[in-house]
Each structure stands twice: as C-alpha cells, then as structure tokens.
Chains A and B, each alone.
Chain A
Amino acid sequence: MASPIEQFKIERLIPIKLGSVDISYTNSALWMTIAVVVVTLFLVLGTRQRALVPGRWQSMAEMSYEFVANLLQEQAGNAGRVFFPFIFTLFMFILAGNLLGLIPYAFTFTSHIVVTFGMAIVVFIGVTVIGFIKHGVHFLSFFVPKGVPAAMLILIIPIEILSYLTRPVSLAIRLFANMMAGHTMLKVFSGFVVALGVLGGWLPLAVNVALTGFEVLVAFLQAYVFAILTCIYLNDALHMDH
C-alpha cells in the first residue's frame, strides 16, 4: 500500500535548467496555472453579460468580489482600499488552490510549506514596509502598547516583537498544515476502504465522503482566515491603534 505522504511529491513535468538552477515546470506549477486560469475564467466569463440584474454566474462573481471588499473595508477602513487587488488575488488564489486539490488525482499546491510561506512572507514584508513608509521610525512604537507601566515594558517589548515575528510563520503553517492533514486523512481512509474490501469498506467510505465535505469547508475557511489576517495586519500597519 502506498504511503499517504506520496501524494505531496513534486514531479518535474517539463525539466528546465538555468545554469545550475532548477526551474522545471512541476505539477505544483501546473496546478497553480490551472488555478489562475480557473479564477480568471470564473470572473471574466461571469461578468461578461454585465446585466444590471445579475444572473447566477455574475452573481457569484460579484459576491466573491463583495465578500473580500467588505472584509477589507471592515478591517482596514478606507485607507486599506488601495490594497484590494492584492487581498482579492490572495484570497481567490488560495481558495482555488484549496478547492482544486479536492479533485481526485489533483495536486494541492497550498499543501507545501514553501508555497504558503512564500505568500506569508510577502504579506509580512509588505505590511512591515507599508508600516515604515506610512509612519517612519514611529512604527516601532507599535511594540509598546498603550497604558503599560514602565516596569513591565522591559518584559512586554520582546514578547511583542516575538509575536510580531511569528506572524508569517503562523500564517504559513496554518494553511499548510490544514491542507496536508486533510489530504493525508483522506488518503488514509481511502486505504482503509481498499483494505476492508466490499464487505467492510462502506464505513470508511462514508467517513471519506464526510471528510471531503469537511475539506470543502476547510478550503473556504482557510482562504478566508488567510485573507482576514492579512487585512488585520494591514490595519495594524496603517492605523497603529494597538
């Protein structure tokens, strides 16, 4: 029986080498491309009609736009509206990646820490740079919460700095571990279905069906949480009301 970890293996589809750097087109890259194409088609074809009273598809496309727009508006206020394209891209990319991974024999590119950490570090560095651009050196006062007695500051400031530095780590691990754990569980229960055969296999199959439903929920939830945390960190950088 194959190991449940094997589904996460990266395979080179088109080997490309640039000197000594391996920039092959992998299965991960393929599914990222598919995710981008799917999201683009969903939005472009959905809003093609430009009906004033939207049909179903246009409604879904508009709802996804509105959902992220409201999220950003609620968390970061009006100053954050400039960052909407980034947050929307992030949300739709992660959502498409999570959902596409649920197709049998597909590859979940968000289940690799390098992918999720890449996105998280972009968010972290971006938000920190925005904070410094907007507030200058005064941004460092973010680590000094208001109303803390001076004696406690020497303890509080390192803790604040540490918790700030673990933000990209927690963002990345949350998404990666959720995806990896979900797909590993699906694979393990599928193994049980095969192992128990025709007589006993229906029970793990029912569990698998329930798990897949749960994984669809987790796909949405993790994309939502990544987006809302990015909005919260952006709000922290723009309006430092810690």
Chain B
Amino acid sequence: MDLASAKMIGAGLAVIALAGVGAGIGNIFSSLVGTIGRNPAARGQVFGIGMLGFALTESVALFALLISFLILFT
C-alpha cells in the first residue's frame, strides 16, 4: 500500500471519533431543553453553561478533525 492511500485511510479512520462528539452534543442539548421545559425561569442561568458545554465538546470534534487533516496533509 503506498503512502497516499494509507494517508486517506488514516484520515477516514481519524474522524470516526466524531460519532462520540455527536452523541455528546445531543446529550447536552437534550438536558438543556429538558431543564428549560421543566423550569422555564431557569433559562437565563442554564443557557450560558449550555453554550459553554457545547463549545467545549465541539472542541473535541475539532481535535479529531485536526488529527485527520494532519494525517492527510503532512
């Protein structure tokens, strides 16, 4: 197997991690919507933390993407 093909396969394997991130982000927003549904007054307090949690989880996705790009382009 030549290097270019191995790189492609490696890049593809690296993004499998995004499945976990998708589940995680869904989890965050599901509990966010549930909390706001049960207690609409808490929206202001909970929303900021929810956005922070989303961004932190997304950064894991970007780490995986970064490794994928590193494998593919260097």
> Is A224 a contact partner of B51 (Cβ separation < 8 A)?
yes
Contacts of A221 in B (CB 8 A): 51, 54-55
> Is B52 a contact partner of A174 (Cβ separation < 8 A)?
no
A164 to chain B, nearest CB (A): 16
A102 to B56, CA, bound (A): 23
A181 to B18, CA, bound (A): 14
Contacts of B65 in A (CB 8 A): 177, 181
> Is A228 a contact partner of B52 (Cβ separation < 8 A)?
yes
> Is B59 a contact partner of A173 (Cβ separation < 8 A)?
yes
Interface size band for A:
10 to 19
Given known A-B contacts A225-B52, A228-B52, A178 and B66 have beta carbons under 8 A apart: no
Q: How many residues does chain B have at the interface if contact means C-beta atoms less than 8 Å apart? A: 12
In chain A, positions 166-199 with a C-beta closer than 8 Å to chain B are 170, 173-174, 177-178, 181
A178 to B58, CA, bound (A): 9
Whether, in the assembled complex, B9 has its beta carbon less than 8 Å from a beta carbon of chain A, the answer is no
A181 to B65, CA, bound (A): 9
> Is A173 a contact partner of B51 (Cβ separation < 8 A)?
no
> Is A174 a contact partner of B51 (Cβ separation < 8 A)?
no
> Is B56 a contact partner of A177 (Cβ separation < 8 A)?
no
Query: Which A residues have a C-beta under 8 Å from some C-beta of B?
Result: 170, 173-174, 177-178, 181, 221-222, 224-225, 228-229
Which 10 pairs of residues, A with B, have the shortest CB-CB distance?
A177-B62, A174-B59, A225-B55, A177-B66, A221-B55, A228-B52, A170-B59, A221-B51, A225-B52, A173-B62
